[in-house]
Structure 1
């Protein structure tokens, strides 16, 4: 069981490493309001020219560490709920998959948000910002980032952006609802790697497009260091709405809310699809090596 739960983390780490530069382009467009939207290759070339090729992989280790922890927590909770809610030979249902995804996502957000706040800050160190609202930080690493954030901004700053993150639990929840639903449709046939890849890609694309404006706000909240001194749910909602309004004003017909969507779709869809291929293939291989039959309910 422990080995199986580690597979999603292994798949995510592999996929994120391969497509990491796309995530670099995405976050630059999301948080830097004055950076003009361009094609993903143009943004990557611009970053490499101004900051060097290594800038495309800046913050890789903190991101990979957070991703592994996040996926482990998510899949552990998801599989535990799936086992607990199993009722004889009853087929899995989309509604049940969605509920398990939401619960798993909520647990994941509450436990891992501090890691994502820190790695977002580290990922943007050394970036040449166009916006004067963004300021450089000087963290020596994950632990130093933790220490400085707590000292200068307070413990609550580690959960910056937690509200949109909680809303965004619908992203993986919707993704897995569509993924499980489409997978069950083709289970009567041999589940080829390309089928897994395409199913994962389509499911993730739907989820990402629907929730991208909130992802933009989430990233902005994680890197904004000055606060208004207000706390609580009402203040959090006001902050989210204010940032949404800012981006709507910054981009014609809401384009500001979707800056970086091209890079995000390329990165996250390919990452999710490749991760699921690795997950399914390693799981199947393990069952084969152990001489166990993998029964799938449908």
Structure 2
């Protein structure tokens, strides 16, 4: 089968990636709730992840750790479908079946990430608002919101804050395309090393370990920008009034980073990292296991050649 942008292979990878990520996120969703609270609510004291979740349950109810699950899952499904499709279609088109290299994986990951950010940022802005709606914040300056769902949030944000507000956090998100790009570069590189000389299907344990290592490195390196991204998506901050939107965004990022550093020190830039690492590493590891198994099973059922898939 020819390697084309629109191919069954790319579609299989996209569906498998979306299904794997949605399932994994559902399992570890409460950990993401703890991480987001620590990032956005500056007055909430840093504690262990279990302690934060206990506080949230006591303050807001038993199901509060799963608040905003549906919009997050919708956003994640769309986002990972776009990313996996772009990553594998671009890779197939460029390499034409030839072995890849870490630098190639990194550049393809960045390109796929840029496309993904530009298309799906409004969904992530909305899911951040919905996930935090109804929360009991320790910061009295945070204003409550009232959205009935994804579409209502999109409409309200557009009317009250302007259509551009749906792309709040786009600049740090574009910078953060390095996160999945580095993650995929490390994952694909480790995978090639394990399969070197003998093309085979990796065991679930092997996939779990290399997926966890790849995500841990990518998350730690980019975490300060992830914190700023969450704050910008939440929308409750004072931004500079530069005529240039790009310049304004860059100055906002700089201002938020500097203020957080001055107020809390270097550790303030990594507040919630424990919860984020716990959630994102476990989620990524489980996601890669499900992704590999679903893709492999689908290729076998459809009778498609997946030799290029095993050699990548």
TM-score (ref. length: structure 1): 0.96
Q: Deviations over 1:196-241 (max 9, x none)?
A: 0000000000000000000000000111245544451111111001
The C-alpha deviation readout for 1:239-289, integer Å capped at 9, x for no partner, is 00110012112223x111111101100111111111110011111122233
Ranges in structure 2 where 5+ consecutive residues have no aligned partner: 1-7
Q: What is the distance in 2 between the residues matched to 1:291 and 1:153?
A: 50
Counterparts of 2:180 and 2:292 in 1: how far apart (Å)?
17
- Determine the C-alpha separation between the residues in 2 that align with 1:112 and 1:4: 18
| Contact 2:20-2:291 within 8 A present in 1 as well | yes
> Per-residue deviation at 1:293?
4.7
Deviates more, 1:239-248 or 1:220-229: 220-229
Is 1:10 the counterpart of 2:14? The answer is: no
Measured after TM superposition, the shift of residue 96 of structure 1 is 0.7
One of 35, 44, 50 as aligned partner of 1:35: 44
Partner of residue 125, structure 1: 133
Counterparts of 1:54 and 1:293 in 2: how far apart (Å)? 45
Distance 2:79 2:226 in 1: 16
Which position in structure 2 is the counterpart of 1:212? 223
Alignment partners' CA distance in 2, 1:54 and 1:223: 21
**Which of 258, 264, 282 is 2:270 aligned to?**
258
Q: Over aligned residues, Cα RMSD in angstroms?
A: 1.4
1:29-58 deviation line (CA, Å, top 9, x unaligned): 001111110000000000000000111000
For the residues of structure 2 that align with 1:5 and 1:18, how far apart are their CA atoms? 20
How many residues are paired up? 296
Distance 1:179 1:146 in 2: 35
Matched residue, 2:4? none
Q: Could you tell me whether the CA contact under 8 Å between 1:33 and 1:250 is conserved in 2?
A: no
Gapped regions of structure 1 (runs ≥ 5)? none
Match for residue 60 of structure 1 among 69, 78, 102? 69
